[in-house]
Chains A and B, each alone.
Chain A
Amino acid sequence: MNVIFEKSVAGRQGFRVPDSDVPVEGTLPEKYLRTAAAKLPEVSELDVVRHFTQLSQQNFSVDANFYPLGSCTMKYNPKFTEKVAAMPGFAELHPLLPQLRGGEQYVQGALEVLFECERWLCEITGMQAFTMQPLAGAHGELTGVMLMAAYHKSRGNSKKYIIIPDSAHGTNPASAAVAGYEIVSVPSDKKGGMDIDKLKAALTPECAGLMITCPDTHGVFNSRIDEIARMVHEVDGIMYYDGANLNATLGRCRPGDIGFDVVHLNLHKTFATPHGGGGPGSGPVGVGSRLVKFLPVSRVVKRSDGKFALNYEYPDTIGYIASFYGAFGVILKAYAYMLMLGRDGLKATSDHAVLNANYLLHRLKGAYQIAFDRICMHECLFSAARQAALGVHAIDIAKFLIDKKMHPPTVYFPLTVKEAIMIEPTETESKETLDRFVEAMLEADELARKDPEAFHKIPSTMPISRPDETKAAREAKVNYFSSHK
């Protein structure tokens, strides 16, 4: 499909800028002006609408396709939450308004949303307090590690490294490194959990803490997690909970109760806010009592007269981690979702997410090698090793699914399992959809045994076939105008 610049015709405009109603014209000295207009496209409104509509139709999405992308929790995004975020009283609210004297009274509704959302998340996770500010999961991780660092500094601890299991998301070590820590990686045992003996060996007084996803990316809930927490606490380490997989344990277990000191959640996973093709997300961070005083500012407080206010006066705070109060529009959607589900709906979420994953595990384990032979949590992990021996790799099976109009699962992650295929169906999918997926996966396995060569030609039903990624990286054509002056 042509890029929009190729549809440009000089003189066309898709939006009318009103005529000026003021009797003066502003001018600036020439040295401050650009010499040529920015080369934005010149297209009509219909051109724009048709262009982006047609582009959108080239995407798979939760609205149109089964999307079992492991570790991403691609559940259905309720429509009514979009309506809430678009309410003018929220959408048109300027973030600096509460910073004016007398301005807080004009943002009471927005502050109530933030305050209540924090309270819900505290009760769901068993943490003492939350900040809603982090703008994505990785941003929450960085915030959490900064909180860890502040804690250790206040105790005069000299800590050098953070322990991270080898099954972790890449963001964990990256966030810890950005915050100035070294990384010590601990391998998993044969059953998929963290190897406790290896952990013991890695724990020294220089350990700042442990970052762990629970259940982990193997889809395993580590029954010894409380014991692990005790060990980490013995060296005055901080237990960090990566909430990417919270969708498995709502109402069954709370990180705050089993020894975690800091957690981040992904509202775009567990709390059903749309993933937006790669954001905006939201990664609120909750802390236990030891870390509350370090939380970033501002914090939303409820005064004795029932009014909400922003408080910046916390001497031990780590400071500002975002310009304002978080991805407010996203937080609103998550809050509306929690209100809809309530206590029982949240618990049912995990029940069905885990049921659906185990159903897929059992339906597929004959054809695909399972990574760990045990009950899984909200996602099931396979290896395409058997198929790979025939020349058909995890990526080929992924492409086969695309031709079946299903988004592929996560492949080649976690790094601990060769030819990994990680499937997270979520609770919002029906048994019929799961069965169709199973049929497609079984068909792929059959084809792998009969005609492995056939995979080289797929996908064949999409607007494009497999792209040349090496060429993309070598040429780095990332700006239309550098190749089309």
Chain B
Amino acid sequence: MNPYIANTSQDVSSMLKTIGLGSVDELFCDIQPRHAPKSFDLPKGLSEYEIISYLNRLALQNSNGLIPFIGGGYYDHYVPAACQALISRGEFYTAYTPYQPECAQGTLQSLFEFQSMICALTEMDVSNASLYEGGTALYEAMMMAIRITNRTKVVMDSGVSPIYRKLIRSYTHNLDFEFVETPVVHGQADRSAIVKLLDKNTAAVIVQNPNFFGAVDDHTDIVEKTHAAGALLISSVYPVALGLLKTPGAMGADIVTGEGQSLGLPLSFGGPYLGFIATRTKYIRQMPGRIVGETVDGQGRRCFVNTLQAREQHIRREKATSNICTNVALCAIQAAIFMSLVGKEGLRKLAQLNLDKAEFARRELSRIPGVEVKRSSPTFNEFTVRLPKKADDVVAGMIRHGFAAGFPLGRYYPGMEDYLLVAVTEKRTKDEIAGYAQALAKVLADK
């Protein structure tokens, strides 16, 4: 039995009669016996209650108890209840892409507001209605820069998330692009290394703020050098940090992307997340993905539609700016709701609170013998510490004390096995931070 099917056996008979067939099997006459499944060995269906109990048991096997000090681009921020309540409205989540604007103004206007908020946050001119996630958004930005400049070399700062860098390398593996990364420096981007790599074929320089080590930067000088070489600057940003930090728009960046998970989305083991992209007006026609634009209806009333669709796959097919179709509209609406709730002043306060807590954690950790808190660059809510032992071992020890202590940098940066990346969001209390410091002291003291 399938509880989501309404047809009764009487309905089936009467419909078959209309069609002029004797059985449902006859509807499948084009599927020949030789096409039949060799196997379809699946369990029988369960009830809602049984499934909830089973999945709840699995959910409880996960890390409920661990106190998270782990970030790496994905942060444990509080999600206001109104966020979840509003996107749980069936009118939002059971609709699809607004192909018919007259019956989709809710989605369209919400996405227009999202785009405008991303522009406000980054101080860029235009944004799209979302991409899958931060990593694929950065890849799309890179492809956009290649199209705009008609050049094929990309310079990537090593402070850009190593996950993003691996992802972009996979995507471009079979394509004729030159992809160079700067040598790893611990802290802000190495200007001279970037400048050395710039040449006449450079399409883009990619930087991140704060970078993977947590270092906050002002990339204005890099933008100038990049532009002087005729290339574009792409900046990947952390939206909550922009409550305080100098914006990529003010630095002169050409394309801005980022992971929007911190804007009211749960961590959810890696997705669904929210990629965003913003750029200058002059590049809007090279921007991938859905874009919502304002217009008027027949009576002159303001309304919203998907626009500039001539860039997209359903019109241009193989000549489109990207293959993207379904993106993450609901996550974008969720982020718009989050940004509306937190608001202009709230976002600044939230960012300041993150900064305060991280500063406190830095102070507490620096008091532990053998722990060196890196201070070479300013940081936001994430920073690196150098430990007297392998970070991997320390993290394993900290798990036993109930803490997800941070991310060992050695996993992605060979030679940095003693370094731990620690994130402290507004949700971490003074007591949790103090408890973390005590546990760390113990773990380090253990032989």
Contacts and interface: CB of A to CB of B under 8 A. Distances in A.
A406 to B, nearest CB: 9
B32 interface: yes
Contacts, number: 730
Given A26-B356, A93-B62, A40 B45 contact: no
Given A84-B55, A138-B323, A329-B272, A478 B82 contact: no
B213 interface: no
A481 B315 contact: no
Contacts of B441: none
Contacts of A275: 93-97, 326
Contacts of B58: 89, 108-110, 112-113
Contacts of B312: 170
Contacts of A462: 102-103, 105
Interface in B42-90: 42-48, 51-52, 54-64, 66, 68, 70, 72-74, 76, 80, 82, 84-86, 88-90
Interface in A46-71: 48-49, 51-53, 55-65, 67, 69
B141 to A, nearest CB: 14
A38 B94 contact: no
Interface residues of A, number: 214
Interface in B77-134: 80, 82, 84-86, 88-107, 109-113, 115-117, 119-121, 123, 125-127, 129-130, 132-134
Given A171-B325, A253-B31, A322 B135 contact: yes
Nearest to B163: A323
B38 interface: yes
B99 to A, nearest CB: 7
Contacts of B286: none
B197 interface: no
Nearest to B404: A97
A154 interface: no
Interface stretch (A199-207, A341-349, A442-450): A341-349
Contacts of A391: none
B112 to A, nearest CB: 7
B83 to A, nearest CB: 9
Interface string B344-364: 111111101101111110010
Contacts of A344: 1-2, 44-45
Given A87-B55, A94-B267, A20 B357 contact: yes
Contacts of B64: 88-89, 92
Interface string A304-344: 00000000000000111111111111101001101111111
A132 B177 CA distance: 28
A253 B35 contact: yes
Interface stretch (B179-187, B225-233, B294-302): B294-302
Interface stretch (B198-206, B240-248, B368-376): B240-248
Contacts of B95: 59-62, 67, 275-277
Given A326-B270, A472-B307, A62 B94 contact: yes
B160 interface: no
B406 to A, nearest CB: 9
B445 interface: no
A49 B343 contact: no
Contacts of B192: none
A51 B268 contact: no
B378 interface: yes
Given A15-B342, A55-B105, A93-B267, A321 B93 contact: no
Between B30, B105, B411, the greatest number of chain A beta carbons within 10 A of the residue's beta carbon is seen for: B30
Nearest to A87: B59
B414 interface: no
Given A101-B392, A462-B103, 6 more contacts: A82-B88, A170-B325, A174-B320, A330-B271, A343-B42, A375-B21
18 contacts: A8-B344, A15-B346, A22-B359, A33-B246, A56-B86, A65-B103, A93-B268, A96-B74, A139-B136, A171-B314, A222-B30, A275-B326, A277-B333, A322-B271, A324-B270, A339-B51, A351-B24, A462-B105
